[in-house]
Amino acid sequence: MGGDFQREVEVSPRLLDEHLKKNQILRKAFDLVWRDAEYSTMIEMSNVMAVKRLKYNDHGPVHAKIVAGSSLEIFDRIIERGIIPTTISDGTTSSVEEAELVVLFASLLHDIGNSVHRLNHEAIGAVLSKDILDRALASLFPNETRKRVMIRQEVMHAIYATSFDVPALTIEAGCVKVADGTDMSEGRARMPYRMGKSDIHAISALSIEKVTISSSQEAPVVIGVYMKERAGVFQIEQVLGPKIKSSGLGELIKVKALWGEGELPLDPLR
């Protein structure tokens, strides 16, 4: 295992910047989406629907960046162990860089369906992503229609598969799905809770100080959830656990719930 993969990184918007600095293709792809007028308006509308109207927690640009950084980190740690990305083994991408594009695009676009409604937003978002992806991929692969369509469909699958009850059929989609569940520090938990309510969702979400990603000999990906109160376990059991369970990556991921000086017993796949 390489030295970089022994380090523990914190899940935050800054994690994406680290990955973009190392990969010019990802940087260009990010800029194409982030500067797309339709995308920026949809992501703004997603927070109008989720935060202003439903009083839920953030589903906008900050969340998109957090998920993108986390998903790329998870993906890189998995392939570092010699595991071949599904899109490569199935021939829908031809390089790790193209597989990473699937992960990045899906992470940035996965919540745009909220711009229509929270209900079924994953399926809605997959459909809405088509035009944005077509524009970005046309710039990246101008003379390769087949490649553009294959990558687009893989991204659309990964967006749809972020739903709790939709199995992820690729490693790439699984990484995005799990990463979506890692954005839960200081009240950012992905179980939507009503802002201002003192119910178990809010109390549990506010109990989580930070989330980290590291590796161990036993697991390519170790997700550490650092909590101020034991109530934070609720978020792991209700959000992160179900995401992992339907991600197809259960055997590759370990979750540690850390409170005070010790680690709480936990089985997110039960």
Mean pLDDT across the chain: 90
Based on the structure, what is the number of domains in the chain?
1
For the ranges 61-65, 105-109, 237-241, the lowest mean pLDDT is seen at 237-241
Residue 79 lies in a domain: yes
Is 67 a domain residue? yes
Lookup: tokens for 140: 């990246």
- pLDDT reported for residue 94: 97
pTM metric for this prediction: 0.92
pLDDT band at 2 (very low <50, low <70, confident <90, very high): very low
Asked whether residue 269 is domain-assigned, the answer is: no
Q: Are strands 253-259 and 221-227 parallel, antiparallel or unpaired?
A: parallel
The answer to whether residue 197 scores a pLDDT higher than 60 is no
| 270 within domain boundaries | no
The answer as to whether 97 is a domain residue is yes
Identify the band that residue 1 occupies on the pLDDT scale cut at 50, 70 and 90: very low
Nearest-angstrom CA–CA distance, 59 and 48: 9
State what percent of residues in the chain have pLDDT above 70: 87
Dihedral angle sign, alpha carbons of residues 152, 154, 155, 156:
positive
Q: How many residues does the chain have?
A: 270
pLDDT of residue 231: 78
CA-closest candidate to residue 211, choices 77, 80, 69, 103? 69
Q: Is residue 46 part of a domain?
A: yes
CA 267 to each of CA 166, 211, 234, 240, 242: distance values in angstroms, whole numbers, following the listed order: 21, 17, 12, 11, 11
Can you tell me the distance from the alpha carbon of 75 to that of 83, in angstroms, rounded to the nearest whole number?
10
Q: Is 251 exposed, middle or buried (0-12, 13-18, 19+ CB in 10 A)?
A: exposed
pLDDT above 90 as % of the chain? 74
Query: What does residue 16 show for φ and ψ, rounded to 5 degrees?
Result: -60, -40
**CB-based contact 59:111 (threshold 8 Å):** yes
Task: State how far the Cα of 251 lies from the Cα of 243, in Å rounded to an integer.
Answer: 13
Average pLDDT over residues 118-124: 95
pLDDT band per the 50, 70, 90 thresholds, residue 185: confident
Q: Is it the case that residue 6 has pLDDT exceeding 60?
A: yes
Specify if 22 maps to a domain: yes
In this prediction, residues 7-18 reach a mean pLDDT of 95
The SS3 of residue 251 is: helix
Structural domain boundaries enclosing 93: 6-264
Lowest model confidence (mean pLDDT) among 97-106, 182-191, 206-215: 182-191
Is 33 contained in some domain?
yes
- Unique residue bearing structure tokens 């699958």: 157
At 206 the pLDDT is 77
User: Would you say residue 34 has pLDDT above 60?
Assistant: yes
Residue 266 is predicted with a pLDDT of: 65
3-state DSSP assignment of residue 64: helix
CA pair distance 270, 180, nearest whole angstrom = 20
